Amino acid sequence: MDGQNGCPIAMIDASSLTCWQDVPATNRKCRLIDDKLHEYSPFPFREDLNRKINLWDGDLTTLKVHAIVNPTNELLNDDNPISRRILVKAGPGLKEALISNVRSCKTGDAKMTEGFSLPCRFIIHTVGPRYNAKYQTAAEFALHSAYRRVLQIAREHRLPSLAIPIINSVKRGYPPDQGAHIAIRTVRRFLEHFGDSFESVVLCVSETDLGIYGLLMPLYFPRNRHEEQYACFHLPVDVGDEFGEPIIHDRRIRIIDNPQHALEESVDLSEQLQTSVSIGEHDFCKMHLDRDKQRLLGQSRSSGDPFSEAVSEELYRVERYERLLRRAKSEDLSEISGIGCLYQSGVDKLGRPVIVFVGRWFDLRKVDLEKATLYLIHLLDTVTNGDYVVSYFHTLTTSYNRPPLHWIREVYSTLPYRYKKNLKAFYIVHPTFWTKVMTWWFTTFMAPAIKNKVHGLSGIEYLYSVMEPDQLEIPAFITEHDMTINGIRYYQPTTTL
């Protein structure tokens, strides 16, 4: 098969790829401290499904399959690397078909064209949502809908082999780990219902995302009984319904926190989220500033002035922080301070205050995240007037101790510039592979200003090059764990219980 320039396109037959069942399983052990989240795995071991799924870090435009997926935007002209390769290699016929016949596609929906000069017969074009923490549930619905519509179209047109890249794009702000959960979960549930319609479904990922998918695939597609049991400890509590669709327990959500606390408006999502087609018509997909915020700031959506929008956004952010600070100084936050997961502990060798965060004691089942935000602001408000450092201990944490990425993003975007400017170092002690992946993603795409300030440390001893042992008060379980994995190679300070 020739490309648009007459050069042969390299082809890889999907049947030649190693199926997931034949990929060697890792013998990951459940630690004694892990909490079992599911009595039985919602996704039991099924060899038949594992032989239909492939995880592949390659160029999907080279795959010889019945259909590949193009993750694009509503106007079908997104300039992401995958769409760019598809448009170039498919030739001018594809671009003409998109402009003349397809024209547009709503968020969460999918449309199909011929494959033209590509090795595949068809291309299924779909649009993932723009992500905003305020509309997280709606974004999850839209992403689930995009994956499901792709699979439905392939089944309706009797296309037994399909290659799907990552639809949730970093460009649209979607956290990669959350998107991976929805992607794999949706594919698994669809195969459970309609597995007979497919011979091969290839999940095409980049080298960057391979680590995330490699960690999550065994949870949804366990290759043996051991991985099935492991999934009981590490799957999210909420795994959606029988089709993997997110479940809304309370469909009424607040749209805006009014600065005057005089108005609290809600929107009923029960009708708006019935179908994937309707999803693309709402503001959360297009990431406009919400209308209440615009009204409060006296901003016109039709102004079209990026500078005015930026100023208004900054004014809103400053006002929001000042409002939170007032609440932090007036409300009773003893239930958060009493947990002991966040506190100031001495100074480093340069006299800079050290803020300690003990991940193991941050239990999402017990912590009110709104109050946690207020306590964080209350603690840091005076410290951050000058230089400071943070030591985060990831020691012996479980899935219950991982702060949601959307919450971290919201807090980071709320904090004033001086918090980021005066932060001189952020040490992550005992990081896991998962922590390293998520830290890289967050500091690369969401917080590049602090990227060079974040350091992963495999042991406590490395902290003592920047701070004296008697200045660091940490729980005893951290030093005990450190000694079991690193030995006693440093002066052991007095620890607290």
366: CATH: 3.40.525.10
pTM beyond cutoff 0.75: no
Separation of alpha carbons 70 and 90, rounded Å: 12
Residue with tokens 């440093």: 490
Q: Which of 120-129, 275-284, 294-303, 409-418 has the highest mean pLDDT?
A: 120-129
Looking at the domain assignment, is residue 104 inside a domain? yes
* Whether residue 83 sits in one domain with residue 65: yes
* Whether residue 355 sits in one domain with residue 426: yes
Separation of alpha carbons 414 and 407, rounded Å: 11
Could you say which of 278, 301, 330 is where a domain stops? 330
Looking at the domain assignment, is residue 251 inside a domain? no
* Whether residue 455 sits in one domain with residue 379: yes
Looking at the domain assignment, is residue 497 inside a domain? no
| Confidence check: pLDDT of 7 > 60 | no
* Whether residue 345 sits in one domain with residue 319: no
Q: Is the dihedral of CA 327, 329, 331, 336 positive or negative?
A: positive
* Whether residue 326 sits in one domain with residue 343: no
Q: What domain range includes position 20? A: 12-234
Residue 150 binned pLDDT confidence (cut-offs 50, 70, 90): very high
Spatial CA neighbour of 107 closest among 144, 142, 153, 68: 142
* Whether residue 216 sits in one domain with residue 92: yes
Looking at the domain assignment, is residue 2 inside a domain? no
Dmax over CA atoms of the chain, in Å, equals: 73
Could you say which of 209, 234, 259 is where a domain stops? 234
Alpha helices in 112-256 (DSSP H): 136-156, 176-194, 207-220, 225-234
* Whether residue 221 sits in one domain with residue 74: yes
- Mean pLDDT of all residues belonging to the chain: 82
Looking at the domain assignment, is residue 27 inside a domain? yes
Q: How many domains are there within the chain?
A: 3
- Tell me how far the alpha carbon of residue 239 is from its chain's centroid: 15
* Whether residue 292 sits in one domain with residue 404: no
Looking at the domain assignment, is residue 420 inside a domain? yes
Which has more confidence, 163 or 234?
163
Residue 409 binned pLDDT confidence (cut-offs 50, 70, 90): confident
* Whether residue 419 sits in one domain with residue 317: no
* Whether residue 107 sits in one domain with residue 80: yes
